[in-house]
Chain A
Amino acid sequence: MYKIARKKELNPTVTQMEIEAPMVARKALPGQFIILRVSEEGERIPLTVAGCNKEEGTVKVIFQIVGSTTEQLNHKKEGEYIQDFVGPLGRATETEGRKRVCIVGGGVGNAIALPVAEEFHRLGANVTSIIGFRDKNLVILEDEFRACSDRVIMMTDDGSYGRHGNVTVPLKELLEAGETFDEVITIGPGIMMKFVVATVKPFNIPVTVSMNPIMIDGTGMCGGCRLTLNQNGRKVTKFACVDGPDFNGYEVDFDEAMSRGRMYFDFERHAHEATCNLYKKA
């Protein structure tokens, strides 16, 4: 059992938890993920590490309440326990040799983008962060991004905060104005990452994307997290849990990955409603 050391609501649909898991905390690096199970009957879900406190032995995760499992997790209080917590899994984000980077995050993906931005900042790189949200109420981690970025561009879809529009708008402006980066790193919904890749492509800058497919074991056993890369015209199957979760954005088949991500959409919607109703009754 793993204790929830601290819990904080970042916005009405996004929660941050710090979980006591000293062995994971000791090892976790930006870009890696953990798998947790809330209860004995629960499913295993992957969540990217949003930070860790090695002295205290806690690992920070930030999740959006989207389905039954995240709903159950969100009902756990500070001081309570969750059943399982294992990691760190996957490969850490590559940081070597990057002097000037642009981080492009969307929605709850910003929670994962933040430790990557912080790591680049710690290593002395120049960091531009373009962070996008649907509206003002959903904005999270703004202060944290400002603390580790040389420049922050805040975007909202409805213009209620920061600039109005998608994250690709300022990205394109910067690139067209002649800005160069050693790398663009994008983390967020599949559709956003797909358009970030398309935006950067004409400028010949490497793009790394952080994939978040459905997983079970997370250790290279089940193959559920497979995705297709197009490498020089050849289709190659890769597994996000052991080969990723970071991939070369130019190679990823996003349409396929997004389609696979919706495999249990109906099931989840149903389970989410069932869970909500259970809690209503309780």
Chain B
Amino acid sequence: MAINPKKHEMPSQEPKVRAHNFNEVTLGYTMQIAVEEAQRCLNCKNSPCVSGCPVNISIPEFIAHIKESDFEGAYQVISKSSSLPAVCGRVCPQESQCESKCTLGVKFEPVGIGRLERFVADWHNANSKEQPVMSAQNGHKVAVVGSGPSGLTCAGDLAKKGYKVSVFEALHTAGGVLVYGIPEFRLPKAIVAKEVEGLKTLGVDVETNVVIGKTLTIDELFEQGYEAVFVGSGAGLPKFMGIEGEAFKGVYSANEFLTRSNLMKAYRDVVDTPIMKGGKVVVVGGGNVAMDAARTALRLGAEVTIVYRRSMTELPARREEVEHAQEEGVVFKLLNNPTKILGYNNPENPRDPKNGFVTGIECIRMELGEPDAKGRRRPIEVPGSEFTLECDTVIMALGTSPNPLIKDTTKGLEVNDHGGIIVNEDALTSRHGVYAGGDAVTGAATVILAMGAGKNAARAIDEYLRREER
């Protein structure tokens, strides 16, 4: 049988329909599509895909189970390496990880590994009656700071080893960026809630509304009998450009805009949190967060333009997200950079309620020059090419710097120039018994890298506490 050169397409909501709702965009493979897609896998000897996975899932092995329609078997293989398959199957950048190494990809499109992972996880969640079982307790307590992907992973791995784990979350809902950052249409919150519930059945305590560094310090956690602490406090303060007008009403950081919509559910009419809806929105930036913000604004009824200073080739967002955004009607204005945000000002009437609201954004055209240190071509302004885009809302999606709360309240915790916590290869910080991982260490990165860091830390914490016991 000849191999289908193309990945099976992902069933999705029609772009015109989904541009107006917050339901999940992609619907997932059916059983039949999954089995057919699995059959594309060559099961090659050296399995290069595994090396492309930050948590080294035995990819050909789980795909082999799908070929046999043994979906639970496939799930068991994945869950040996990944604690959040339903999440990673949706938000991992597979095209630059496992799928980029796929042998089939040399000639054809690679196997849709991510789509298969998601299928398996969803199948398990819908059909498996097996409840996670609490492991025999070993009597040791570990605290996990933050309930994002790194914290949940670390907590899950340690709980399975018999540790009593408490997860402390600053917000009112557990899940971290999976809840406040990634929109419902890309990652339904019910999936995150299910993962958190699963952890609780493993015996993990999840305490919301506790800000480590404020409500309790790391030192107090040790005083309370925790023997090790994992810090997965995530990304922090949003970056702005430092241009004129960023304080006008209608200028949001992507974090704020997405938090209002995702965590606070401002897109639903029954909730109290306000958000600027409709009109014209300009999103500045080219990462996944920019795409999420743009597509959220679109669903809230706006005409949306993305302004990015480099070209499509350099755009850091996942291809799939960019394509989805384009299909839904987001306009890309590439090779442009904002120089100033314009606001309304009625000199006749200082009490005019429109005063101080955004009216537009001034941009300048860019061209690409020599590659910079990272090999990306540096954008250079084209003199005199300024122009104005009219808009009501500007969303700055320029990344974040690590959260200062823990650094400021933990003596002896070393951080780098960017504020990221310094760790060794075992995720150990400069403080005895304190481990860290995820965005708090690396600055803004991906869910799977954070998960990998959480796993690594769980392993290291286990080894450390076993050493201490001896």
In the complex, whether A10 has a CB less than 8 A from a CB of chain B is no
CB pair B272–A42 under 8 Å, yes or no, is: yes
| Other-chain residue from A27, A41, A264 in contact with B271 (beta carbon distance below 8 A) | A41
Report Cα–Cα, A39/B237, bound state, in Å: 27
- Pull 7 A–B residue pairs with CB atoms less than 8 Å apart, ordered by A: A41-B271, A89-B211, A216-B273, A222-B253, A237-B240, A259-B356, A264-B274
In the complex, whether A203 has a CB less than 8 A from a CB of chain B is no
Report Cα–Cα, A72/B270, bound state, in Å: 14
| Other-chain residue from A83, A89, A263 in contact with B214 (beta carbon distance below 8 A) | A89
Report Cα–Cα, A219/B356, bound state, in Å: 26
- The DSSP consensus for interface residues of chain A is mixed
Stretch at the interface among B111-119, B187-195, B255-263: B255-263
Known: A37-B172, A84-B209, A239-B237. 18 other contacts (CB 8 A): A27-B214, A43-B264, A43-B272, A86-B170, A86-B172, A216-B263, A216-B264, A219-B211, A219-B403, A223-B237, A223-B255, A242-B237, A256-B356, A260-B247, A262-B249, A264-B274, A265-B353, A271-B274
Interface string of A247-269 (1 = CB under 8 A from B): 00000010010011011111110
| Other-chain residue from A23, A44, A242 in contact with B264 (beta carbon distance below 8 A) | A44
Report Cα–Cα, A66/B342, bound state, in Å: 30
In the complex, whether B236 has a CB less than 8 A from a CB of chain A is yes
| Other-chain residue from A23, A239, A265 in contact with B215 (beta carbon distance below 8 A) | A23
**B195-241 interface (Cβ within 8 A of A):** 208-211, 214-216, 234-238, 240
Report Cα–Cα, A237/B241, bound state, in Å: 11
CB pair A220–B404 under 8 Å, yes or no, is: yes
- CB-based nearest B residue for A222: B256
In the complex, whether B355 has a CB less than 8 A from a CB of chain A is yes
In the complex, whether B50 has a CB less than 8 A from a CB of chain A is no
CB pair B238–A223 under 8 Å, yes or no, is: yes
In the complex, whether A51 has a CB less than 8 A from a CB of chain B is no
Report Cα–Cα, A218/B379, bound state, in Å: 35
A-B contact count (CB 8 A): 121
CB pair A217–B170 under 8 Å, yes or no, is: yes
Report Cα–Cα, A254/B20, bound state, in Å: 39
In the complex, whether A85 has a CB less than 8 A from a CB of chain B is yes
CB pair B272–A69 under 8 Å, yes or no, is: yes
Contacts of B240 in A (CB 8 A): 223, 226, 237
Tally of B interface residues using CB under 8 Å: 43
Report Cα–Cα, A69/B252, bound state, in Å: 22
CB pair A242–B356 under 8 Å, yes or no, is: no
Contacts of B403 in A (CB 8 A): 219-221
In the complex, whether B42 has a CB less than 8 A from a CB of chain A is no
**A181-230 interface (Cβ within 8 A of B):** 216-217, 219-224, 226-228
- Once A68-B272, A216-B256, A242-B405 are accepted as A-B contacts, the answer to whether A222 and B249 lie under 8 Å apart by CB is no
Contacts of A227 in B (CB 8 A): 247
CB pair A267–B274 under 8 Å, yes or no, is: yes
In the complex, whether B171 has a CB less than 8 A from a CB of chain A is yes
Report Cα–Cα, A124/B175, bound state, in Å: 46
| Other-chain residue from A217, A226, A260 in contact with B171 (beta carbon distance below 8 A) | A217
- CB-based nearest A residue for B215: A23
Contacts of B250 in A (CB 8 A): 263
Report Cα–Cα, A227/B170, bound state, in Å: 23
In the complex, whether A31 has a CB less than 8 A from a CB of chain B is no
Report Cα–Cα, A265/B274, bound state, in Å: 10
- CB-based nearest A residue for B396: A223
- CB-based nearest A residue for B236: A220
In the complex, whether A24 has a CB less than 8 A from a CB of chain B is yes
